[in-house]
Structure 1
Amino acid sequence: MLTRHGVTEQQWRVMRVLRETGEVDATKLAVIACVLAPSLSRILSSLKGSGLIHVRHDPEDRRRSLISISESGEAFLKEVAPESSRIYAEIEDRIGLENIARMLDDIEQLLKALDRSADQANG
């Protein structure tokens, strides 16, 4: 579905995060959207080139970029979201809400374990 609309899954995720959080700095956006910083740079460049987001320098710290969804980005999300919701509903029907919740819990536990391992390795 996303390919038909000309965006990648990561671009879609970044735009949805921006819609939910409002303007945010690139570091926080990378964490919330679960995207590595080098990948985020490419994603932002592409989305900015398409006019789907705005990127500006923080007036208090010019090294920091602040990113927000543009009006075009909002319109794009509004157009594509119903189809996305139908697909998620179909997945939920096939797999079941309990199984999805269990998988998400398992993924969260995995991520926490990986974070702990990284913390232990770093110090």
Structure 2
Amino acid sequence: AGLTIDQWVVLQALHARDGQSPYQLAEATFKDRPTMTRILDLLADKGLIRRQTDPADRRRYRISLTAAGRAQITTLLPMMEGLRESAWSALSPEEVGQLVDLLERVFASLEDG
């Protein structure tokens, strides 16, 4: 597939909500702006995303998946879900719940500063 984890995470974020701004994508994926710009440049070079001028503010742009980007998601999503299920299978449902709670607390503390 030729994608890094960071590139995959951005594609997934666009799959969940296409047409986000680079800032929104950076926030959603916990990346800083320079890192997001680099990831978007690489994805655009691969033909997986396109930048379109924001009709509400022509100084900004929105990021959308291309047909190739959607095809990449369609191809990789089942495989990635299988990997995720395999990773979680080592934990009981109770342990998964505890882990999710702990991670939510960690992310909340990071957001609070």
| TM-score, scaled to structure 1 | 0.83
Question: Equivalent residue of 1:24, what SS?
Answer: coil
Question: Equivalent residue of 1:16, what SS?
Answer: helix
- 1:4-83 equivalences under 5 Å are 5-83=1-79
- 1:107-122 equivalences under 5 Å are 107-116=103-112, 118=113
Q: Following the alignment from structure 1 to structure 2, what is the Cα–Cα distance between the partners of residues 18 and 79?
A: 15
> What displacement does 1:97 show?
3.5
Question: Equivalent residue of 2:90, what SS?
Answer: helix
Judged with a 3 Å threshold, the aligned counterparts in structure 2 of structure 1 residues 68 and 105 are, in CA distance, closer, same or farther, namely same
Alpha-carbon deviations, 1:66-116, whole Å to 9, x = none? 001111001011111121111111112112343233222212112222332
* Counterpart in the other structure of 2:98: 102
> What displacement does 1:57 show?
1.8
> What displacement does 1:56 show?
1.5
Counterpart amino acid of 2:42? S
Q: Aligned-residue CA RMSD in angstroms?
A: 1.4
Q: Following the alignment from structure 2 to structure 1, what is the Cα–Cα distance between the partners of residues 94 and 61?
A: 39
Q: Following the alignment from structure 2 to structure 1, what is the Cα–Cα distance between the partners of residues 97 and 5?
A: 21
Counterpart amino acid of 1:110? V
Question: Equivalent residue of 2:89, what SS?
Answer: helix
Judged with a 3 Å threshold, the aligned counterparts in structure 2 of structure 1 residues 59 and 81 are, in CA distance, closer, same or farther, namely same
| TM-score, scaled to structure 2 | 0.90
Identity %: 27
Runs of 4+ aligned residues of structure 1 deviating over 3 Å after TM superposition are none
